[in-house]
Structure 1
């Protein structure tokens, strides 16, 4: 994978996150699930396993009562995590977010 394709994936993920943040509480649990699954697919294709697992867990939790707010809250930090140029920093930030969801 080239850095250009990774940058493109980061841009697409950033757009998904921005959409969730912009629409906020107007998103139904199913819409939030769909957005998180879209992020999961992008992460999967691009070898971003930590983000893939976080998005998978978030997508499932979005359907549970009371967890929509937690999922949206964690998304606030996903942009910061994927902007890191160090894979270790990105993974550490995503792991911290996953713990926050638990």
Structure 2
């Protein structure tokens, strides 16, 4: 699979992921745990295809958390921080936010 390498396409991917995260965040309270898992897995897949390893791992963990009791709070927290990370213009900030969140979840 081709990986996104140019800044324009990476920007497009980040925007697409941001839209998916925002949509899931709005609808999460009405979705079943399995639906949330599927949506997070779709986010993970897009991140994986485009070489966003930190986001891929975090989305994978969030998908797992969606299936556990108390999932709504943990998933909402993950979505908020993922959105913050993707909104950053600096990749170092993005990675720092995602790494901090990953540590917090473990």
TM-score by length of 2: 0.88
Stretch deviating more after TM superposition (52-61 or 69-78): 69-78
Alignment length, in residue pairs? 102
* CA offset digits 1:8-30 (Å, max 9, x no partner): 11111111111111113111101
Partner of 2:35: 31
C-alpha contact (below 8 Å) 1:71/1:101 kept by paired residues: no
The runs of 5 or more residues in structure 1 that have no matched partner are: none
Query: Which of 26, 37, 44 is equivalent to 1:22?
Result: 26
Query: Which of 6, 11, 14 is equivalent to 2:10?
Result: 6
Flag as ranges the 4+ runs of structure 1 deviating above 6 A: none
Q: Distance in 2 between matches of 1:29 and 1:4?
A: 34
Q: What's the C-alpha RMSD, in Å, of the aligned pairs?
A: 1.2
Equivalent residues in 2 for 1:1-102 (5 A)?
Answer: 1-102=5-106
- Cα distance, 1:64 vs structure 2: 1.0
The runs of 5 or more residues in structure 2 that have no matched partner are: none
